[in-house]
Structure 1
Amino acid sequence: MRTKILSALVIGTLIATGATTAQAATSACTYKPATWLPVPPAADQGGTIAAEAGPGVYAGLITYTDSSAVLGYKRHAARWVNGAVTDLGMLTGADYETHVTDVNSAGVVVGFGGKVVGNAGGWPIIDYVPYRSAGDQLEQLPVPAGAHDVRASVIAANGDIWGSGFGPNSNNYKVVYKWPADQPGTVVTPAGFPTGSEVADVDSDGTVAITVIPSQEPQTDRPYTWKNGVAKALPLPSGAKSGGVSAISNGRVVGESVDANFNSTGILWDNGVAKKLPNSATALDINASGLILGYSSSPYKGALWQLTTAIGAVPAGLAINAVADDGSIAGSGVQPTTTNPPLPVIARCS
């Protein structure tokens, strides 16, 4: 289970209602902020949780005003362990922007940094390079010679890191890369992934959830899983022309499908069967018991489902990016009665 890639507070604003276990699915509860995590005093624009790895271990971003930066600010990767924050900084040589994608229970944070490599019509051309945390800083992961726009997407419990990028001979289609934990400093290209595979997540049994984009034509995206060298297409629901995945946990995959009119619907693939989430636009994350975070379609706002049962809309208040196996949800929000910038927060059902 993991979250969508984050470089800002982008998931929406909310305090959510919902159940935290399959047994509680029919009895909705209300999520309330339970723990506010600190940011360094100089991080005057606050921070957010982007990913979690179980109780007490979180990763995300903290933001500093910096007039010398191209964007007017700099976002650093950060890690919180048992309430204490570590500023991991930015990747050396890739200080245009920082993205945090995942963290494992050992506190290793992964993501990618952006560096300016050119200019087109007054807009910077950005190349992305993958990183992992080592101690209290970020280190670049190796990439094959000639590869570009390579991003680390997820880290497994055993330390294996998975990601995607454009290979030196990939003809503008993405290639899957793996950085094995037992072979530090190396990168491999695992066999069996379809052309155009982009890694979304990895399950505890090693199953990788991927979105395959096999063509430059629109609406050719397809959802897949891969395990031990074998890729398996996931079915699209009736009426869908394309689809992709966001997360996997305990064998269940979530994502979205898109119809011919480009309307999207949140999808749960359970035992390989595509199930539409009621009144949904997309599904972003899922925990081991089937609690799903996504967006409703009408109105368009954050929402929770327990498997295919809607258990609460997400009203304004917090920006939630991750759902943990203990049923807590995490992201950022403004503390009540303060004028502080958004701070990292964990909300629990009460």
Structure 2
Amino acid sequence: MLSIFVETSCNRYNRDECVDCHVYEPLADIPKSDWHMTPDQARVMAEKIGQVDVLNTLAQQEINLTGGEATQNPHIVEIFKIFKTAAPSVCLHTNLEMNSKSSKRWLRLVEILKEGGRADITLYPTAWEKFQKPLLKELITIQNRMIVNVIFENLPHLQMQTALLTNFFSEEGSDFGHVVQLLKDYDDKVSWLIKNQPDCDEAIYTTHMDDTEAFAHGKKFTLGLSLLPAFKVGPKGIRSMTSLPFPRDPYLIHCPAARGSIDIMTIRQTGEMTPCCDVGNLKCQPEFGNLLTDSPDKIMAKFKESSKKMSTGIEKNQKNLKSGQSGKWVEEGIPPYCG
């Protein structure tokens, strides 16, 4: 999959149009004049994606337009159409925190869905009742599939969020019975952990949840559920070594790119690329080229060079973990939580 930043502003507090922003790295240093990707930039990217085999292969899986908040970009409908020429499936991530159905952001989103796009959301409990829930009711009448991201700080927090979704889909009728059943399966699993292993580590959690399906497939609607542990992030955008729900042990990411398999590529608005699975937030430093300014040949050369650097850095990270030096950054610039 290609994950492409099309907008810097996340606008959690000014919900309909860009006024101000409080984003973390890697977006915080982008000036307001460059908050929105332009259609011309999208055209350059789409053309080069087709010229670089690795990127083209990933695009054939899916292109995900993200940010910030992608619907804040006033050009997002045109940008969607441009990237649709490079990929069979283009989705858009949204926080769905919009004032109403008359919001320009909502109208842009609806137009994209009518053009064959898909919207995925992240659940925010503080925005659920007033903003997300009413618009999600509309959203599931327009599209027949979506992924919901659930970011949790502890097990009760996870259970509370799955309960919000369970109650919501229970009210939507028999067409969503399979979705409700999946959510109940998760609730049963989490309830058992809260009762029997309330202070479990990540290994116990993963083992206990491992056989639970990620998707509820139905004739009229398919829901994908992605459960993501939350992390403390410092003022400079540096992530903690441990997650909030599982604070006892380092929360490691097994990076496919360091093992020679690029499964995802994040492309920032500046054109810079990273195979980071956390849309660039982990601050992985090896450079994989710039999709706006580099030639296809130069991009491929950087792919090879940086892949080797990542592999070396991962080996050093693993040695540091074994020697009790977890959290130490290696000279290759590989985040210490990637192993």
Structure with greater helix share of residues: 2
Is TM-score (shorter-chain normalized) higher than 0.5?
no
Which has the larger Rg?
2
> TM-score, with normalisation over the residues of structure 1?
0.30
